[in-house]
């Protein structure tokens, strides 16, 4: 898995203010980070993207009980977004953690030790306890599985080894994409109704990425 660390690192960024990590996920203009990295009642957050530029992102949705926040950029970034897993990982599953680029981007292999409750994640019955050795400031960093799908993000705990699963957010975004596609499909001109499969896939993804 370590040979793919660059694929994860290219999608990571820095959430300023609270100095946390974040990553581009599902679409080039969407950023996922930990909710505790977004001070209440902020609605706009500065992020430092690969290359060093600072941009302002709008808070799209936040759930402090599951420690999940989604930010939206005005323009897409020239990176390959990471995919979110709709499945919670199982004990024993391998994970890869890639640290912040401003700290050297160290990568490490880890495992899921157990799924259990965590007092700081009151609405999460299956917080992911891992063997990751992270540190303060790594909150919001992605943990990816063997298929390079993000299964959780760094939350906290001793050695910052507790992670919040992203499955609920992944399912929400999947539902949003289906709704967006259905709305555009129903309103499409007649000559759009039977495109090729490849063209249909590109069209639907473009609609999802550009939605606001």
DSSP sequence for 17-44: TTTEEEEEBSSTTEEEE-GGGS-TT--E
| Full-model pTM | 0.83
Residue 78 resides in a domain: no
In this structure, are 104 and 133 located in the same domain? yes
In this structure, are 97 and 146 located in the same domain? yes
Q: How many domains does the chain have?
A: 3
In this structure, are 41 and 109 located in the same domain? no
Q: Residue 37: which domain range? A: 2-73
**pLDDT per position in the chain (212 positions), as tens?**
889 999 999 999 999 988 899 999 999 999 999 999 999 999 999 999 988 899 999 999 999 999 999 999 999 999 999 999 999 999 999 999 998 878 876 899 999 999 999 988 988 999 999 999 998 899 999 999 999 999 999 998 776 799 999 999 999 998 877 665 454 444 444 443 433 333 333 333 333 334 44
In this structure, are 28 and 54 located in the same domain? yes
Retrieve residue 128's tokens: 């992911």
Residue 93 resides in a domain: yes
In this structure, are 88 and 69 located in the same domain? no
In this structure, are 123 and 160 located in the same domain? yes
Contact 56, 42 (CB under 8 A): no
CATH of the domain at 162: 2.40.10.10
């Amino acid at each position: 898995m370590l040979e793919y660390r660059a694929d994860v690192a290219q999608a990571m960024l820095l959430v300023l203010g609270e100095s946390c990590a974040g990553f581009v996920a599902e679409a080039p203009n969407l950023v996922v980070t930990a909710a505790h990295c977004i001070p209440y009642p902020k609605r706009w957050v500065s992020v430092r993207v690969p290359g060093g530029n600072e941009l302002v992102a709008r808070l799209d949705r936040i759930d402090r009980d599951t420690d999940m926040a989604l930010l939206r950029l005005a323009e897409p970034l020239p990176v390959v977004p990471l995919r979110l897993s709709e499945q919670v990982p199982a004990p024993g599953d391998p994970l890869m953690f890639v640290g912040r680029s401003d700290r050297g981007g160290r990568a490490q292999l880890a495992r899921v030790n157990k799924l259990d409750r965590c007092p700081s994640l009151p609405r999460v019955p299956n917080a992911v306890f891992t063997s990751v050795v992270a540190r303060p400031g790594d909150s919001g960093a992605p943990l990816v599985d063997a298929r390079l799908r993000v299964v959780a993000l760094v939350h906290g705990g001793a050695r910052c080894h507790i992670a919040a699963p992203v499955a609920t957010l992944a399912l929400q975004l999947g539902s949003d994409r289906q709704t967006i596609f259905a709305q555009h499909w129903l309103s499409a001109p007649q000559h759009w109704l039977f495109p090729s499969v490849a063209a249909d896939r590109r069209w639907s993804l473009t609609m999802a990425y550009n939605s606001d």
